[in-house]
C-alpha cells in the first residue's frame, strides 16, 4: 500500500520538527497508541491498538528514524507484530516546508506492507482504514502543535456540500 499527502500545520517549521521527534506529543496524536518510548535519539518502541473491520489487534513494534536533515526531513521506518492478526512494516519519507513564518506544510509518502489475518481483509478496507488513521493523526497533531485544527490541502467542501454549507 502506498499513500502520500500534505498537511498544513499552523506552527513554525522548527516547532513542527521538534514535535515530530517528541514521543509524548506523538503518543497523544497516534490513534490507539498505548505507549511510545524513545530508546535512543533515532529509535522508539511502541504499542498500538487498532481495529480494521472485524479484526482488533495490539501491535508492538520498533520505529527507526534515518536520513535526518533537521529541521527539514527524515525517513521513519518500522515494523510491528500483532500476534494472530498479523504483522505490519513500512516507512514514510517526511518533509517539512515553511509557508511563511507561522505555517508549515508537512509532506509525507508512506509505503506499508501487511501480512497475516489483516492481509485477508482486502485492500479497500485496509486502504480506507489507513487513510482514516492518517487523517486522525494529522488533525490531532495539527491541533496539539498549532493550537488549532490542521487544514487539509483541499480546504473547503466542493459541489452540493459546499453550496449547502456556504463554502462555494
Written as tens digits, the pLDDT of the chain (168 aa) is 788 889 999 999 999 999 999 999 999 998 899 999 999 999 999 999 888 778 888 999 998 999 999 999 999 888 999 888 888 888 889 999 999 999 999 999 888 888 888 778 877 887 888 888 887 888 899 899 987 544 444 444 445 444 454 544
**What is the rounded average pLDDT for all residues in the chain?**
84
> Within 10 Å of residue 67's Cβ, how many Cβ atoms?
11
Q: What is the per-residue pLDDT for 150? A: 46
Contacts of 88 (CB under 8 A, 6+ apart): 59, 61, 79, 80, 82, 112, 113, 114, 115, 118
**Helix, strand, coil proportions of the chain in percent (round to 5)?**
35, 45, 20
Helix (H) or strand (E) holding 111, with range, is strand 104-115
20 grid coordinates: 515530530
Q: What is the per-residue pLDDT for 28? A: 93
Q: What is the per-residue pLDDT for 165? A: 47
CA angle 163, 160, 155 (to 5 degrees): 70
Q: What is the per-residue pLDDT for 137? A: 86
* Predicted confidence (pLDDT) per residue in 2-44, tens digit: 888 899 999 999 999 999 999 999 999 988 999 999 999 999 9
Asked if residues 68 and 59 have their Cβ atoms less than 8 Å apart, the reply is no
* Domain 2-165, CATH: 3.30.530.20
Q: What is the per-residue pLDDT for 148? A: 56
- Of the chain, the percentage scoring pLDDT greater than 70 comes to 88
Q: What is the per-residue pLDDT for 45? A: 95
Q: What is the per-residue pLDDT for 23? A: 92
Q: What is the per-residue pLDDT for 155? A: 44
Q: Where are the domains of the chain?
A: 2-165
Amino acid at each position: 500500500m502506498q499513500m502520500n499527502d500534505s498537511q498544513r500545520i499552523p506552527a513554525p517549521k522548527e516547532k513542527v520538527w521538534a514535535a515530530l521527534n517528541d514521543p509524548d506529543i506523538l503518543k497523544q496524536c497516534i490513534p490507539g497508541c498505548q505507549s511510545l518510548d524513545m530508546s535512543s535519539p533515532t529509535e522508539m518502541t511502541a504499542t498500538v491498538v487498532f481495529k480494521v473491520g472485524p479484526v482488533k489487534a495490539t501491535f508492538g513494534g520498533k520505529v527507526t528514524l534515518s536520513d535526518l536533515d533537521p529541521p527539514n526531513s527524515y525517513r521513519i521506518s518500522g515494523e510491528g507484530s500483532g500476534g494472530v492478526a498479523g504483522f505490519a512494516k513500512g516507512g514514510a519519507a517526511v518533509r517539512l516546508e515553511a509557508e511563511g513564518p507561522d505555517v508549515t506544510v508537512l509532506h509525507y509518502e508512506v509505503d506499508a506492507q501487511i501480512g497475516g489475518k489483516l492481509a485477508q481483509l482486502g485492500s479497500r478496507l485496509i486502504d480506507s482504514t489507513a487513510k482514516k488513521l492518517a487523517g486522525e493523526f494529522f488533525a490531532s497533531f495539527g491541533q496539539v502543535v498549532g493550537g488549532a485544527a490542521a487544514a487539509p490541502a483541499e480546504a473547503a467542501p466542493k459541489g452540493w456540500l459546499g453550496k449547502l454549507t456556504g463554502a462555494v
